[in-house]
Amino acid sequence: MRIGELAERTGVSVRALRYYEEQGLLTPERSESGQRHYSDKAVDRVRLIQHFYAAGISSAAILEMLPCVVTGEASPHVLTKLHEHRSSVVRQIEDLRGTLQQLDAVIAGAVRAHESGVPCPPG
């Protein structure tokens, strides 16, 4: 498929797909005229990349990990990196749980205030 279709199927912009290629995360075939052509597997790869981005993992780090994501192979160094990222993700989840509690406390307080007729700040 061409870049527009991949963009549509993944929900990622055309610009982003070209950017992924710049970063070495995606290496499509090229037609005679220079147009990019992607296999179906690219859809999953793009989703994986987005997953990692969402976890705060940088392009460079993703690039480092991608070969072993694809082939199942990893050098000890890459394995160490993988564990580091895992820990980071776990930490993020814990932090977000804390934030959730904060938000819930705020919401509960606000609801109580609303029920007891306390005036509201502008907004």
Contacting positions for DNA (CB under 7 A): 2-5, 7, 12-16, 18-19, 23, 31-36, 50, 53, 58-60
State which H helix or E strand residue 87 sits in.
Answer: helix 76-115
The residue written with tokens 């460079």 in the block is: 60
Taking the complex as a whole, the smallest distance from the CB of residue 57 to DNA amounts, in Å, to: 7
CB 13 within 8 A of CB 37: no
Residues within window 95-114 making contact with a copy of itself, judged by CB under 8 A: 95-100, 102-104, 106-107, 109-114
Report the distance separating Cα 48 and Cα 20, nearest Å. 12
Instruction: Extract the tokens encoding 32.
Output: 């005679």
Identify which of residues 22 and 114 has a Cβ nearer to DNA in the complex: 22
Answer with the entry of a copy of itself, DNA, none that 34 interacts with (C-beta below 5 to 8 A by kind).
DNA
